[in-house]
Structure formats: C-alpha cells, structure tokens
Amino acid sequence: MISPEASKEALRKRLLSVRAGLTADDVTAAEAAVTRHALALPELASARTVAAYVSVGREPGTRALLEELRARGVRVLLPVLLPDNDLDWAVHRGPGTLARASRGLLEPTGERLGPDAVLTADTVLLPGLAVDRTGLRLGRGGGSYDRVLARLDAAGAAPALVVLLHDGELLDRVPAEAHDRPVRAAVTPSGVHRFPAAG
C-alpha cells in the first residue's frame, strides 16, 4: 500500500510539472482573475487583518491582491520563514519593503511579531498546489502551513481559510493525513469554490 506521504509527493511532482509549463502571460492573467474573485469574497471584504503571502514562481500571483487589501485599510500580515520551517509574521508596508530571503522567497522587512501573530487574522490566505472536493489542501510539503493551522486549532482561532490556485488544481481527492485541515474556499481564475463542511 502506498503511504499518503508518498502519494502526496507523486501528486506534487505532477502539479509542479504542469505549473512549470505556464507562460508568463498565463501567470499574469491568472493573477488578475484570482485578485478580482478574491476581492469579492465576503471573508476579505469584512476582514480587518489578513494573513497572506507573497507569491513566487508560477504560483497564482498575490501582489496586486496584497496592495488592494492595503489600499482598503486592511492590516496585511506576511510570513517570514524561520530556520525550523515555522513562520513568523510582519505587517506588510508595501512592495518596497520586501526583501529576497532564503529559497527565493520575498519577505517583509519590518518588525517581527512572532508566530502567534497569525491568531489575530480574520482570514488566512494559503498557498497550495491543489484542493479536493472536501476542501483538503495539498501544500508543497515543507510543513510551514501545517504548523500555522495547528497553532490556530490549538488556540481555538477560526479565521476563514482560503487557498489560491490555478484552474485545474481542484481535484476529486488529495491524499490526506490526520493533521490535514480543510479550507473554506479556493479561488481560481475561473471563480470561487466553496467547501461548506469546512466552514
């Protein structure tokens, strides 16, 4: 029998291969559509604090979304990768305050607020490679966001969890493990996909 982790790795490789085939125009078009759909979400319209991330590579772009949230007066928290793969957080002050960090990530340069800062978020935007019909998200496998979700659970915090994806990354099923938590919605260029059981 194939372990969930082994089958996750195979699926990750397949999804990353598809993303690698996207053109710069594909990524730009996806960013515009994902931003438009995300900004219409009630979970973002009513949020005072949003924990988000700066997209890299062929991920659906987040930069326009981050700046629009800031323009609306939303406090945007961005992650800072710690040596143990956990995430610290800092307030996003604009594109000029981002610096290149390890693994090609762009991180905020402001004051570090600590890993528990995510507990103040009304909505958490999550990166991912896929989500299934029940809302289970497949990440890249580093475990950083598993720690974030576990921290939220342990504190009894219940922000809206939303994953940003490309079209074609909504699957019937992703391999799951006991620690995996469902998201409330996925936003793709074609629209918003909701998972009522998760929220």
Tokens coding 81: 């990768």
How many angstroms separate the CA atoms of 102 and 50, rounded?
A: 23
pLDDT at 36 over 50: yes
Sign, CA dihedral 5-119-192-164, equals negative
Express each pLDDT in 100-137 by its tens digit.
887 778 899 989 999 999 999 999 999 999 999 999 99
pLDDT at 199 over 60: no
**CA-wise closest residue to 26 among 196, 197, 195, 188:** 188
Please compute the mean of the pLDDT values over residues 18-41 and round it to a whole number.
95
Fold of 4-198: Rossmann fold (3.40.50)
Predicted model pTM: 0.92
What lies within 8 Å, CB to CB, of 36 at 6+ separation is none
Tokens coding 179: 């620690």
How many angstroms separate the CA atoms of 40 and 34, rounded?
A: 10
How many angstroms separate the CA atoms of 117 and 75, rounded?
A: 12
Question: Cβ(92)–Cβ(74) under 8 Å?
Answer: no
Question: Cβ(172)–Cβ(21) under 8 Å?
Answer: no
How many angstroms separate the CA atoms of 185 and 199, rounded?
A: 9
Pairing assessment for the beta strands 185-188 and 160-164 based on DSSP bridges:
parallel
pLDDT of residue 196: 79
How many angstroms separate the CA atoms of 57 and 75, rounded?
A: 25
Question: At CA 90, angle to CA 87 and CA 91, rounded to 5?
Answer: 140
Question: Cβ(139)–Cβ(147) under 8 Å?
Answer: no
pLDDT of residue 85: 92
